[in-house]
Amino acid sequence: MTQLTDQKTASLSAIAAADSLDALEQERLAALGKKGWVSLALKTLGQMSPEERKDAAPAIQAVRAEVAGAIDAKKAALEAAELEAQLASETIDLTLPGPHTAQGSIHPVSQVMDELAEIFADLGFAVATGPEIEDDWHNFTALNMDESHPARAMHDTFYFPDAAAGSQDGTTGGTRMLLRTHTSPVQIRSMKAQGAPIRIIAPGRVYRSDSDATHTPMFHQVEGLVVDKGIHLGHLKWTLETFFKAFFEREDIVLRLRPSYFPFTEPSVEVDVGYSNEGNRRVVGGHGDDDGHDWMELGGSGMVNARVLEMAGLDPNEYQGFAFGLGIDRIAMLKYGMNDLRAFFDGDPRWLKHYGFSPYDQPTLSAGVGSQGRAAS
């Protein structure tokens, strides 16, 4: 037992003096390994008489526990010191410039939405949002679209089959739920909440049952609304011309308003812009029908129908307004030279790398909304 005490004292001193995990492991093996002195002492218990074993076993186990505890404590101290040294050596200087290789890019749709918001903010428009899961009243009825309107058909609109428990016709209190087919319901909600005068744009996702090279089941629209006293069609044309000049960053933008029909506007007009072909892409600018130029339809617009104003709680004898709608994906394709709408939603990293925009650049009117660097060119 005297020899065991001496071995314990020597081992504890060696453990305390260990300056690395490797040195500590050597001390553990020397004491607690299969051939360690503690293990050998435990093996001698079988050669002792019951009386001797009764006194020796607890003493050896106490030495073993004391040595094992010292090793665990020293190991924790060495690991903590090692971690501190590693953290000190791997300090990151946050004032250094970021890596030159871009790790991500802004999607063209997000970029164009930022450009839209920047331009219309300068014209005094606020950005409004609304739910993408909409009810029939806000999406159709409040916009003067009667029950027989083709847009209400199942083949054009995504309806929810079970809007309420036990419902067999997809209705809740007589109002069917659907994925909104345009962002016009935001106009209704905004007019009911804010009243007039009002000047907003409503960008966002919309859904229709259609899919080909120029249509997708989900796409993006921006709709604009102005309601005030004395508003007329000239205000609408000036607003659209000013927007397109800023968006395409050229002054030779020419618009043509063609008579059309939309249930929620009266009179209604289609908006065409003059363009020319350069190579395999269309370039906006110039007069239509002259010098090789032609007209391209970009959206619909018109004066807000009096019944829509009434549905929103406004007096059409006091207030007038105009509204317009544009496809964000389409004007992005036109501005940045893309030819397939489906690629916007494929998630191909090669396409995103080529057509994406640097996340460090934001559209500003002072620098030009389209002058920011692309992620790759």
Look up the CATH number of the domain holding residue 301: 3.30.930.10
Across 23-27, 260-264, 280-284, least confident range: 280-284
Most confident of 52-56, 169-173, 368-372: 52-56
Say if residue 1's pLDDT is above 80. Answer: no
Query: Phi/psi of residue 142, each to 5°?
Result: -70, -15
Structural domain contains residue 323: yes
Contact status, residue 374 vs residue 356, Cβ threshold 8 Å:
yes
pTM of this prediction? Answer: 0.66
Least confident residue range of 35-49, 88-102, 324-338, 361-375? 361-375
Give yes or no: residues 240 and 277 share one domain. yes
Query: Among 339, 330, 338, which residue's Cα sits nearest to residue 355?
Result: 338
CA–CA distance, 228 with 206 (Å, rounded to integer) = 27
* 210 and 273 co-located in one domain: yes
Statement to judge: residues 119 and 31 lie in one domain = no
Per-residue pLDDT tens digits for 155-204: 678 888 865 433 333 344 457 899 999 999 999 999 999 999 999 999 99
pLDDT at 169: 39
> Considering the domain boundaries, does residue 9 fall inside one?
yes
Q: How far is 243 from 301, CA to CA, in rounded Å?
A: 14
Position 361 in a domain? no
Total domains, the chain:
2
pLDDT at residue 168 in the model = 38
Indicate whether 167 belongs to any domain.
no
Over pLDDT 70: what percentage of the chain? 86
Rounded CA separation 130/274 (Å): 33
Phi, then psi, of 241 in degrees rounded to 5? -60, -45
Q: Which residues pair with 201 in a beta bridge?
A: 127, 224
Categorize the per-residue pLDDT at 215 as very low, low, confident or very high, splitting at 50, 70 and 90. Answer: low
Residue range of the domain that includes 40: 2-89
> Is residue 128 domain-shared with residue 210, that is, in the same domain?
yes
pLDDT in tens, 108-150: 999 999 999 999 999 999 999 999 999 999 999 999 988 777 7
Residue 100 lies in a domain: no
46 DSSP assignment: G
Residue closest to 302 by CA, chosen among 240, 347, 244, 222: 240
- Are 26 and 116 within one domain? no
pLDDT-based confidence at residue 377 (cuts at 50, 70, 90)? very low
Shared domain for 205 and 262, answered yes or no, is yes
> Percentage of the chain surpassing pLDDT 90?
38
| For residues 351-359, average pLDDT | 85
Provide the 8-state DSSP code for 125.
Answer: P
User: Do 123 and 33 belong together in one domain?
Assistant: no
340 band by pLDDT with thresholds 50, 70 and 90 = confident
Contact 137, 147 (CB under 8 A): no
Q: Is the pLDDT of residue 291 over 80?
A: no
* Burial of 157: CB neighbours in 10 Å, binned 0-12, 13-18, 19+: buried
Q: Does 175 fall in a domain? A: no
202 and 279 belong to one structural domain: yes
Do both 11 and 56 map to the same domain? yes
Residues 6+ apart with CB under 8 A from 324: 223, 224, 236, 239, 240, 271, 299, 300, 301, 302
